[in-house]
Amino acid sequence: MSLISTNSRKHVISLKDLSPQETLEIINRGIEYSNGNVEQGYQLKNKVLGVYFKKTSTRTRTAFTTAALRLGAQVIAYGPNDLQLNTGETMGDTLQVLSRMLDGLVLRTAESPKILKAFANQKKMSIVNAMTEDEHPTQALADLTTIKQYFGELSGLEIVYLGEGNNTTTALALAIAKFSNMKINFFTPPNYNIDPMLLKYAQEEGKKRNTTIKEFHDLRKLPKNADIVYTTRWQTTGTTKPDPNWRKVFEPFTVTEELMNTYTDAIFMHDLPAHRGDEVEASVIDGVNSIVFNQAENKAHSAKAVLEWCMH
Ligand code: CP
């Protein structure tokens, strides 16, 4: 027995689970929404979406909530203290119960995606990973939506990333690996690298499509060309680092005006929130080559594409 009727819902838990074709479909649909080419309001009519954020969020939470409302769904928002998870109910039991009542659940937890994966064999309730400790898949989908919208294509683009190897970088590597003839060079501080297993997986996937994904710690290896310079906040969701001297290790990885001047015409991207003076100089993020607020807006358009793909 179930209060919901369909048995064909899909999930976005890890980008590893999406085929290149499915990824492209979501990106292209996000561009259509962003360009204002889609009539909205019927796609998720009569659907109920839960939005549960255990961790802070401005963009992702608002993007998925507004996306669901604009596509005709009704939304239940759960804050970090609202569910019985707080009093000891397991995530497994919570997901079991919610799947009998909701059509979809967008959730940001502090946990590994394993618990979400364990739930992926049910198709009653779509699950969308709005960021786990090791992957931020909907960020990468929104980013590639922005990049393809800006440049018209993905093939041939070269990206330089400076900063921590975190869940956004992992997702970016996994997403780019699905497309042909791209190049991304991640420059991360020593000991703050991308998860080696996920990086290796992305590199092997990319190689099949002539896409190169590399990680360096030595800034002398910065490439001569870049179409995009990307960074993220050094303290993801405000978390602190155990090493009291971590800032010293990160400082050389700041995206400066001087660095941007070496890449004429390169655009600047940042998943936000930003800390001006840490990972990026104010003149860069507030400069003419920065597209960070279009990038942020596209999270909402990409969220519509994700929800439609999962639940329509
Ligand atoms: N980029 C991003 O995920 O932003 P929020 O943490 O505000 O959702």
Every domain of the chain and the residues it spans: 11-135+299-311, 137-295
CA of 236 to the centre of ligand 1 (A): 9
Look at domain 137-295 and name its CATH class.
alpha beta
CA of 4 to the centre of ligand 1 (A): 30
Pick the residue whose CA is nearest to atom 3 on ligand 1: 60
Q: Determine what percent of the chain is predicted with pLDDT higher than 90.
A: 88
What one-character-per-residue DSSP string does the chain give? --S---S----BS-GGGS-HHHHHHHHHHHHHHHTT-S--SSTTTT-EEEEEESS--SHHHHHHHHHHHHTT-EEEEE-TTSSGGGGT--HHHHHHHHHTT-SEEEEE-SS-THHHHTTTT--SSEEEES--SS--HHHHHHHHHHHHHHHS-STT-EEEEES---HHHHHHHHHHTTSSS-EEEEE--TT-PPPHHHHHHHHHHHHTTT-EEEEES-GGG--S--SEEEE--SSGGG---S-TTHHHHHGGG-B-HHHHHHSTT-EEEE-S---BTTTB-HHHHTSTTB-HHHHHHHHHHHHHHHHHHHH-
CA of 56 to the centre of ligand 1 (A): 8
**Lowest mean pLDDT segment, chosen from 91-100, 146-155, 224-233:** 91-100
pLDDT on residue 1: 59
| Res. 217 pLDDT band, cuts 50 70 90 | very high
| Same fold across 11-135+299-311 and 137-295 | yes
CA of 157 to the centre of ligand 1 (A): 25
pLDDT at 155 over 80: yes
Look at domain 11-135+299-311 and name its CATH class.
alpha beta
Looking from the CA of residue 296, the nearest atom of ligand 1 is 1
| Res. 237 pLDDT band, cuts 50 70 90 | low
pTM score: 0.96
Task: Give residues (CB < 6 A) around ligand 1.
Answer: 57-61, 131, 139, 271-273
How do residues 171-216 score in pLDDT, each as one tens digit?
Answer: 999 999 999 999 999 999 999 999 999 999 999 999 999 999 999 9
pLDDT on residue 4: 56
